[in-house]
Each structure stands twice: as structure tokens, then as C-alpha cells.
Structure 1
Amino acid sequence: MYIPNSAWTWSFFMVAVVQAVIGLALERFQLSLENRADQEAQSRTIPTYLALFIFGFLYEFYPLYDALKYNNTIQVIGICFFNLALLIYAGVQTDQIKDAVLSLQDQPNGPFIKGGVWADLKPFLIAVPCVIALGTVLLSFIAWKLYDEFAWTIYKDISADLRMKRRYLVFQIYRALLKFDFFFFLGFTVQFLVVVGNTRAIEFWLTIAAIPITIIILVLADYWTKHESTTGMISIITLYFAALAYFLFKLVRMYDTSTQSGRDRVADYKPARRSLTTFAVITVLLLLVTIANACWCTSNFGKGLKSHVVKRKIVSQDGKSDYAESAHPLGQVPSRMTID
């Protein structure tokens, strides 16, 4: 694994590693559930939250490695916001697990969980957001230091064409957004599938089918932007609006109690309503920014940016293969952009 040999880049990487190790260690608590507890939706909230935290901490290394390897300040800043989103989720998790434990203890046909569990869990659940908060502060400070370091690196290599740099910057912001869009969409979908009960069969299977479809859409979104396909981007932007409508629809359904069926549906969402709302709101905000950036990228088509982003294979002096951006008359362009 390659990371640029810099004190600040290694510091950024190690803070993320230590945060993940401590956070996952704190999350690895076990509940003494009776076998029949598996029948209750509330009993599925706790392993679901744990699985999402594991995935969140591990997924963070994908944009983190990409950002440090290619001096991408945009993704470094994005990781700080991603960490902040994990902090919000950790705070929501505490109340949601408390409700789940108390609900399992107060069942009329007998408790599904042993007494005293909440007292054992509470210190761990409080410690998790504290660890993430400290990690967010440290990552933000190091990101500020990396801003200057990456800016100097790019200053030595990048073209002096400011308009082209702005277009390339918009392109890189868009690609970074795609990485984070995937996590929050998947997080919402997993919680919906695992925790929410009494879901109609057609809605359940359509939600499952949406996961591979989303991956294909995001891959095509990156490809069509890189290769400047206006038709492809119009299709992608249309799908973004459809996804935006879907999440807004879900938000309304989670709180609509105007009818009896609505009240029954709200009860089905209750075990994970706070966390679902958190993921849905963040996803809606990300989609709005992604749509704006997608339109901006499309407006930059045909203005010379394609030669900067279509990669070609090169061989370094030590004989190792690598990839770099296509040559440009105005100068060398790095494979990732930063803010300078």
C-alpha cells in the first residue's frame, strides 16, 4: 500500500486507523438475548448498528487512501465531513439502542433480554461518540496542514490555466461526492431491509434490487463524466432526481400519521426511525450537491477538460507501471486536484 512519505499524511492515516480500532473495540459488546428475541424488530437494531459502524470505519479507508495517494484535498475535506456524519450517527445510536433494550425488557409475554444490560452498554455507547469527536478534531487539524502541503505539490506540477483548474476542481468534487453517496444510500437501505418489519414483498425486493443498480449508476456516472457524454449525464441527473424523490417520499412515510395505515407504518419504522431519518437527510443533502455538481460538470464538456482526465499507462524509472493524466500543452496535470 502506497502513501506519500510525509509526516502529515502518515498522521492523517494513523489517526483514522486508531479511531477505527478503538471505535470498533468499543462497539464489540454482546447482548444476552433469548432465542425468541430474533422475532422482534427491536432486537435487530443493535447488530445492524454494529454492522454499519464496522462498514463505515472500513469504508472510510477507501477515500482516505485515494486522497493521500493522489494529494486530493477535496477528499481529505470530505473525510472530515464523513467522520462528522459518523459522529452524528453515534449520537443517534445511543438513544436508539436504549429504546430497543427497554422495549425488549418490557414485552408483555416476558422480557427478551436480561436486566441490567442497558447499564452495561451505556458507558461504551457514550465513549464511541467521544472517540469519534476527538478523531474528527484531529483529522480536521491535520487536513488544514495537508491543505498547504498538497497545494505546494500541485503548484509545482499544475498548469497555470485557472479556468481549466476550476473545471478540473469541479470534476474532482463530483467524483468524491459519488464515493460518499454510495455509503449513505447503502446505510439507509440496509437498515430499512433488516429492521423495518411488515414491508410489502414488492417493496422489499425492489429495495434489494436498488443496491446493485445504484452501484452501476455510480460507475456510469463517473465514466460518462470522464468521457464527456452529455446524453449519459442527462440520464444520470434524471436518476438523481428520482432518488431524491424516493428519499423525500420515505421521510414523509416515516412520520405520516394522518391515516390508520400511516400510523401502523410509523410503528413499523419506529425501531430505526431516528437512524433512518439521519441517513435519509444526509443522503438528500448529498444528492442536492451531487445534482448541482453534475450539471456543472456537464456544462464544462467540450472545453478541453477531457484531455486532463483520460488516463494513460506510463512506466516509472524503476520499471513499475503507474497511471497518469494525459499530457496537456499547458503543462503536467496531476491525477487528482486540490484546492489552492
Structure 2
Amino acid sequence: MYRPTSLWTWAFVGVACVQAAIILGFEAYVFATFQTSLKNDATRQTASHTIPTFLTLYIFGFLYQLLLAYDALRLKNTIQIIGLCVFNAALLLYAAVQIEQIQDAVHALLIINDIDNNVWSDTKAFLIAIPCIIAVGTVLLSFVAWKLYDEFAWTIYKHISADLRMKRRYLTFQIYIALLKFDFFLFIGFTIQFVVIVVKRDDIEFWLTIAAIPVTILILIMAGVFTRRENRLGMASVIILYFVALAYFLFKLVRMYQPRFEGTFLPVRKSLTTFAVITIILIIATIINAVMCTMNFGKGLKPHIAGRKMESEDEKTFVTEMPNLSHGPVPSRMTID
């Protein structure tokens, strides 16, 4: 098991854990206050699903962030570390959207007398504090990431040969693998939100959305396998599926603004729109990197990523990112600048 070996790795883990604990505690309080304030048959109203949607996503998001942080530190992967800072900033944007969305949901329930009058005053301070805490966390994580960049740069890139073109190919591979990890959260997170807000469980779209979860996981796993094995046919199939996913998210984005479905999505439409736009941007970036990785097939990168092992100061750990280049030439340092 990996253990942080420096002050900055401990700092990164500490900031991520403290931030997650505080935010999840605040979200849990807001959720409990909201749920205990509901009256009558409020659970039948789409607006009542707003806070459960946010809470579900934040639980998944911060736990997944901790998993990726452990993974990035274990691999000494600066690219993934930087990606986690961007990921935290995206959670900050989502938290800012959450305030207005919950206020609108409470207002909608107050009109029909399905919630207590004081629920907004009881939760407002916590909702405002959440993006503030994430903002501080983002600044701290970015600072620690900068320090870790200097610490990890030599450790990572000394395992690649002196060929600059090979280093660039390996960098493209690393970026692609990191994108797949963040794709997983965005794909599954978007799907979770749809599952939570769908009121009618007998709707065929509900079950299709549920079925999309294991299919998405399988596609992302196979995408990584095909890249490492340099399977051109498999990569071509995955890229086609990426375009299908892009069309799916564009369809969902358009559908949320159609008058026929406005009542269902209105309480969480802003947050879903934010999530969908970020997901679409990431899918496009993933497609571009998938094509670049495919173009690098057959150019000598496969041995560097096929049977990779990395030596740390106190252990040898099998990993998915670091190559074993004992057979290669003398390494030289390269940064990601």
C-alpha cells in the first residue's frame, strides 16, 4: 500500500480529506434539514429531488476525488494532480450553481405549502459556505500541486528514453488515461442525476438510464485496454462510441429546454446544464486525444507501457502508468511544459 513519503504529498492528501469531510458534513446537514421540512406529498414534486441530487453527486464526487488523489500520488502523476485541481474548480462552479437552484426549489415548494417556511434561512449560510470552502481548497490544492510538480517531474520522466518524440507520445498517452478517469466521474455523475430526478420509475427512459451505467464503465475500461495494446480496430470502435456519447449528451441538453419536459428538469436544469457542458467539452478532448494515441500506434511506445513497474524509495508497486525501461537507453529529464 502506498504511503505519502514527503511533506507535500501529505499536504495534498490532508487538504483533499479535510475539504471532503467539511463539504459532505454541510451537505448532509442541508439534506437532513430539507427532508425533515417537507410536508404532505412533497416527495412527488420534482423540486423535492433537488437536494438529494446535489448530495448524491457530492458524495460520489468527493469520494472519487480522494480515490484519484491516492492514485495520482501513488503513480507520481503530475498530469493527474493538475487534473484534480481543475476537477476541484469544476466542483466549485457546481456548488455556486447549487445555491440558486435550491432557493428556487424551496420557493416552488413554499407556493404549494409543501415545505416549512424557515428551511431556507436554516440552510442558506451552509450553502454559501460550501463554494467558499471549495474555493479555498482549490487554491491550496493548486499550490501543493505546483510543489509536487517539481518533486515528481524527474521521478516520472526519467523512465522515458532520451527520444523527445517518444516522450511526447508517452505524454499523450498519460493525458488520455487521465481523461478517461475524469470521464468516468462525469458520465456516471450525469447519469446519477437523471436517475435521482426521474419521478416515474415505470418510465422506459429511467431503465435505459440505469442500463447506461454498466455500459459506460465497460466502454471506458476497454478504451484503456485498447490503447495499451495498440488495437486499432478496438480504438476505432471506442472513438465511434465517443461520438455516440457526444450525441447523447447533446440530446439531453436540448431536451432539458424543450417545453414538454421543462416541468421535470426545471428545478435542476441549471446544474444539469453546467454538468452537461463540462462533459461535452471533456468528450471532445477525449476524442482528440484518442485519435492522437491511435496515430502513435506502431511507433515504439507499446513496450514502454506494456509491463510497467516503478520503484519508490521504500517499495515496488505495480502501476498502470509508469513503464519499465530497463532495456531502454539512458533516461533524461523532461517536464510537461
TM-score (norm 1): 0.90
1:49 Cα offset (Å): 0.8
Aligned equivalent of 2:230: 228
> Is 2:332 the partner of 1:339?
no
1:3–1:314 Cα change, 3 Å: closer
Distance in 2 separating the partners of 1:98 and 1:223 = 45
Does residue 1:327 correspond to 2:325, yes or no? Answer: yes
Q: Do the aligned partners of 1:228 and 1:302 also contact (CA within 8 Å) in 2?
A: yes
Which amino acid is 1:288 matched to? I
Contact 2:77–2:156 under 8 Å retained in 1: no
Pair 1:305 & 2:301 matched: yes
Residues 301 and 320 of structure 1: is their aligned pair in 2 closer, same or farther, counting only changes over 3 Å? Answer: closer
Asked if the contact 1:67–1:75 (Cα under 8 Å) also holds between the matched residues in 2, the reply is: yes
Q: Distance in 2 between matches of 1:125 and 1:289?
A: 32
1:319 Cα offset (Å): 8.9
Aligned equivalent of 1:276:
272
Q: Contact (CA 8 Å) 2:309, 2:324: kept in 1 or not?
A: no
Letter matched to residue 11 of structure 1 = A
Look up the equivalent residue of 2:328 and give its one-letter code.
Answer: L
Q: Distance in 2 between matches of 1:51 and 1:253?
A: 23
Deviations for 1:82-118, whole angstroms, at most 9, x for unmatched residues? 00110011011111111111111111xxx11111110
- Cα pair distance change 1:167/1:314, threshold 3 Å: closer
Structure 1 match to 2:94: 89
The change in CA–CA distance for 1:69 and 1:331 in structure 2 (over 3 A counts) is farther
SS of the residue corresponding to residue 49 of structure 2 reads helix
**AA at the equivalent of 1:208:** I
Are the aligned partners of 2:24 and 2:58 in contact in 1 as well (CA < 8 Å)?
A: yes
| Structure 2 counterpart of 1:325, one-letter code | P
The match for 1:152 among 148, 151, 154 is 154
Q: Distance in 2 between matches of 1:22 and 1:8?
A: 21
Please give the alpha-carbon distance, in whole angstroms, between the structure 2 residues aligned to 1:214 and 1:4. 32
How big is each residue's C-alpha offset from its partner over 1:227-272, in whole Å with a ceiling of 9 and x where there is no partner? 000000000000000110111111111123xxxxxx1311221121
Q: Which residue of the other structure, out of 117, 124, 130, is the alignment partner of 2:126?
A: 124
Equivalent position of 1:13 in the other structure: 13
Aligned to 1:173: 175
Within 5 Å, which residues of 2 pair with 1:192-203?
A: 192-197=194-199, 201-203=203-205
CA distance in 2, matches of 1:67, 1:313: 15
Contact preservation (8 Å) 2:159, 2:325: no
Question: Could you tell me which amino acid in structure 2 is paired with residue 102 of structure 1?
Answer: H
Distance 1:215 1:142 in 2: 31
1:205 — aligned with what? 207
Distance 1:18 1:3, change over 3 A: same
* Residues 225 and 298, structure 1, Cα contact 8 Å, conserved in 2: yes
In 1, the alpha carbon distance for the partners of 2:119 and 2:189 equals: 26
8 A Cα contact 1:308 1:328, kept in partner? no
Q: Which residue of 2 aligns with 1:218?
A: 220
Once the two structures are overlaid, the 10-residue window that deviates more, 147-156 or 79-88, is 147-156
Residue 3 (structure 1) shift = 3.3
- 1:133 and 1:320 map into 2 onto residues whose CA distance is 36
The 2-side partners of 1:314 and 1:192 are apart by 40
What amino acid is aligned across from residue 16 of structure 2 in structure 1? A
* Whole-angstrom distance in 1 between the partners of 2:315 and 2:131: 46
Q: Quote how far apart the aligned CAs of 1:201 are.
A: 2.5
Within 1, Cα distance between the matches of 2:298 and 2:239? 19
- Post-superposition shift, 1:296? 0.2
- For 2:281 and 2:201, the matched residues in 1 are separated by 26
CA contact (8 A) 1:196 1:272 kept: no
Alpha-carbon shift at residue 13 of structure 1 (Å): 1.1
**1:133 paired residue number:** 135
Structure 2, unaligned runs of 5 or more:
none
Q: Percent identity?
A: 60
Q: 1:19 to 1:318 in 2, by over 3 A?
A: closer
Report the Cα distance in structure 2 between the residues aligned to 1:193 and 1:124, rounded to whole angstroms: 26
TM-score by length of 2: 0.91
Cα distance in 2, alignment partners of residues 296 and 280 from structure 1: 24
Per-residue CA deviation, residues 255-305 of structure 1 (Å, 9 max, x unaligned), is: 23xxxxxx1311221121011101100100000000000000000000111
- Would the alpha carbon gap of residues 332 and 244 (structure 1) be closer, same or farther in structure 2, given more than 3 Å must change? farther
- Cα distance change of structure 1 residues 212 and 16 upon mapping to structure 2, 3 Å threshold: same
Query: 1:20 is matched by which residue type in structure 2?
Result: A
